[in-house]
């Protein structure tokens, strides 16, 4: 007779084997196809239900409308280039601005000589309904960048907010931007968004962003909408590049980054991005977008005097590798703590010698009183090519690493790599990549993606406050998947990294 397993035990095993996110997705999928799920979610799917539950209700919106703002409150100039827009979508976009709980705004709609004569007609009619709405009809088509720049030149607000002609601002969007500006005095701000079908109520995805990470944005330009910038800053950049047909949003964001003193992220879904067949993301081939984005990244790095090579990632489109040339004087002392388990240590050493040039590394093995014969024999053999540092006393990882660092001549190495004895390097070039990032003056420590034997994620950065004081991001995710917002395909900042494989400049370690 088969053994029965209780539901709580099944859930605990699933959590251990697959992780909470994978389990949640599986549960949602089964629930969505059940009769109860169909009644709960309706035809629009779980993200629509989630967003409806999450958005502020009428009572809270009314409180927002009655907020007493300080004298130095911001005024927003919303820049909306318009061209052959579906009139209904255009009306919805403008109505979403008119419905804002925060009242100090102006809207500049620049029609880029639409061939659909309904569009300027709609704009002129709407302009009559609110004195804060301004419609400008250009006498010739100049492109989205030029149209946006026309709006920017006319902006009289303290801050500009970029908005597409067929998208939608949540009613509290400007309120949240105003709050963030007053609290942080940020020059550049962005928030989270939802992605919808042509029907704004059909939500495909909720796109949440982390706090700003320069490396992350270079690897994967993850900020799309909504973006708000100090007007003086936006004008100082010269506006959008009229020479670009695509990726002008990436280009302007990079130039805003260069001039901003403070960049703030608002963790709130404030924008709906309507996806349809004529959207740029659908109508332009990926090769053209990738080429244009690479050019924007290369110009950005050149302006910052950063020597790095930009190339498209082989993992997915809209991801990029930023490779910094490795200083030829780089020398890494690899510190490996161990006790017995010669099989683990041998596998680790073999993988290092297969994947790392000998001239780049020295290996220091910190032996914590190993007493089995096989390990003693291995240490004796390895003493000819490695430094063996004997450690005695209770286990103390920090003390062992410090002993290893003191076991090599000071000044001989540029970096220390802390490495567990049960790790196996998978491919050549990994240490060069870590060291090239760790050689930057703004970097204190660099970690690596680590996998369990079943090739699920063991570590890809540490987040404080996740399932306790701290835990690993994307733990148990399948290797090869993108992770949240493409995090697993990108170089990015984290709260911390595990010392199971962490490279640190010697100057920082010894400070």
Query: pLDDT at position 11, please?
Result: 56
Q: What is the pLDDT of residues 416-440, one digit of tens each?
A: 999 999 999 999 999 999 999 999 9
Confidence of residue 278 (pLDDT cuts 50, 70, 90): low
Label residues 185-217 b or e (16+ Cβ within 10 Å = b): ebbbbbbbbbbbeeebebbeeebbbbebbebbb
C-alpha–C-alpha distance, residues 446 and 310, integer Å: 20
| Radius of gyration, alpha carbons of the chain | 27
Query: pLDDT at position 3, please?
Result: 47
Q: Are strands 133-137 and 105-111 parallel, antiparallel or unpaired?
A: parallel
Nearest CA to 509 among 438, 448, 460? 438
What is the C-alpha end-to-end distance of the chain, expressed in Å?
64
C-alpha–C-alpha distance, residues 207 and 493, integer Å: 18
SS3 state of residue 234: helix
Query: pLDDT at position 275, please?
Result: 87
Q: Contact 171/100 with Cβ under 8 angstroms? A: yes
Q: 226: cis peptide before it, omega within 30°?
A: yes
SS3 state of residue 486: helix
Query: pLDDT at position 27, please?
Result: 59
Query: pLDDT at position 470, please?
Result: 80
Contacts of 370 (CB under 8 A, 6+ apart): 338, 339, 340, 376, 379
Would you give the DSSP letter of residue 42? G
Q: Contact 86/52 with Cβ under 8 angstroms? A: no
Q: Contact 238/251 with Cβ under 8 angstroms? A: no
Sign for the CA dihedral angle at 453, 457, 461, 466 comes to: negative
C-alpha–C-alpha distance, residues 338 and 361, integer Å: 18
Query: pLDDT at position 158, please?
Result: 98
Q: What is the pLDDT of residues 392-414, one digit of tens each?
A: 999 999 999 999 999 999 999 99
Nearest CA to 160 among 75, 98, 83, 94? 75
Q: Which two tokens stand for residue 96?
A: 């979403």
C-alpha–C-alpha distance, residues 241 and 497, integer Å: 38
C-alpha–C-alpha distance, residues 421 and 39, integer Å: 53
Q: Contact 167/274 with Cβ under 8 angstroms? A: yes
What mean pLDDT do residues 74-100 have?
Answer: 96
What mean pLDDT do residues 283-309 have?
Answer: 90
Domains annotated for the chain, with CATH where assigned, are: 58-303 (3.90.550.10), 332-509 (3.90.550.10)
User: Residue 80 forms beta bridges with which residues?
Assistant: 109
Please report, for residues 7, 249, 311, 498, the alpha-carbon distance to residue 308 in angstroms, rounded to integers and kept in the order given. 53, 22, 10, 26
Q: What is the mean pLDDT of the chain?
A: 89
Q: Are strands 159-162 and 76-82 parallel, antiparallel or unpaired?
A: parallel
The neighbour count for residue 167, using CB atoms within 10 Å, is: 21
Confidence of residue 316 (pLDDT cuts 50, 70, 90): confident
Q: What is the pLDDT of residues 151-209, one digit of tens each?
A: 999 999 999 999 999 999 999 999 999 999 999 999 999 999 999 989 999 998 899 99
pTM of the predicted protein model: 0.85
Confidence of residue 314 (pLDDT cuts 50, 70, 90): confident
The neighbour count for residue 17, using CB atoms within 10 Å, is: 12
């Amino acid at each position: 007779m088969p053994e029965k397993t209780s539901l709580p035990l099944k859930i605990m095993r699933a959590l251990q084997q697959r992780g909470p996110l994978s389990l949640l997705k599986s549960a949602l999928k089964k629930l969505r196809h059940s009769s109860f799920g169909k009644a709960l979610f309706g035809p629009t799917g779980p993200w629509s239900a989630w967003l409806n539950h999450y958005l502020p209700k009428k009572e809270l919106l009314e409180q927002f409308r009655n907020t007493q703002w300080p004298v130095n409150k911001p005024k927003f100039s919303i820049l909306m280039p318009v061209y052959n827009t579906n009139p209904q979508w255009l009306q919805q976009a403008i109505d979403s601005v008119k419905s804002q709980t925060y009242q100090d705004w102006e809207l500049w709609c620049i029609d880029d000589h639409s061939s659909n004569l309904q569009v300027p007609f709609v704009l002129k009619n709407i302009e009559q309904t609110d004195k804060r709405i301004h419609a400008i009809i250009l006498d010739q088509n100049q492109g989205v960048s030029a149209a946006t720049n026309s709006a920017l030149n006319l902006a009289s607000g303290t801050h500009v907010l970029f908005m597409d002609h067929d998208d939608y601002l949540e009613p509290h969007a400007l309120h949240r931007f105003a709050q963030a500006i007053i609290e942080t005095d940020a020059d550049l701000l962005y928030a989270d968004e939802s992605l919808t079908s042509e029907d704004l109520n059909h939500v495909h995805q909720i796109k949440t962003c982390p706090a700003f990470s320069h490396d992350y944005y270079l690897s994967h330009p993850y900020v799309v909408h909504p973006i708000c910038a100090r007007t003086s800053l936006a004008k100082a950049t010269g506006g959008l590049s009229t020479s670009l047909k695509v990726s002008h949003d990436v280009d302007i964001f990079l130039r805003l980054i260069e001039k901003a003193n403070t960049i703030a992220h608002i963790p709130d879904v404030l924008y709906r991005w309507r996806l349809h067949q004529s959207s740029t993301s659908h109508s332009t081939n990926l090769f053209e977008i990738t080429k244009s984005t690479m050019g924007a990244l290369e110009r950005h790095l050149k302006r910052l005097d950063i020597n790095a090579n930009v190339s498209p990632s082989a993992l997915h489109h809209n991801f990029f590798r930023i490779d910094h040339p490795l200083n030829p004087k780089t020398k890494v002392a690899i510190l490996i703590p161990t006790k017995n388990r010669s099989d683990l240590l041998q596998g680790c050493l073999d993988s290092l010698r297969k994947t790392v040039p000998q001239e780049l590394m020295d290996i220091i093995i910190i032996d914590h009183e190993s007493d089995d014969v096989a390990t003693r024999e291995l240490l004796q053999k390895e003493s000819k090519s490695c430094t063996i540092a004997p450690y005695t006393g209770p286990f103390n990882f920090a003390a062992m690493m410090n002993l290893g660092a003191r076991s090599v001549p000071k000044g001989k190495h540029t970096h220390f790599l802390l490495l567990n004895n049960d790790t196996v390097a998978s491919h050549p070039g990994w240490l060069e990549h870590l060291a090239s990032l760790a050689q930057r003056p703004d970097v204190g420590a660099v970690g690596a993606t680590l996998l369990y034997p079943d090739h699920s994620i063991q570590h890809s950065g540490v987040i404080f406050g996740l399932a306790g004081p701290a835990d690993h991001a994307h733990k148990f995710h399948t290797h090869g998947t993108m992770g949240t917002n493409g995090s697993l395909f990108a170089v990015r900042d984290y709260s911390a990294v595990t010392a199971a494989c962490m490279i640190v400049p010697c100057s920082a370690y010894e400070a």
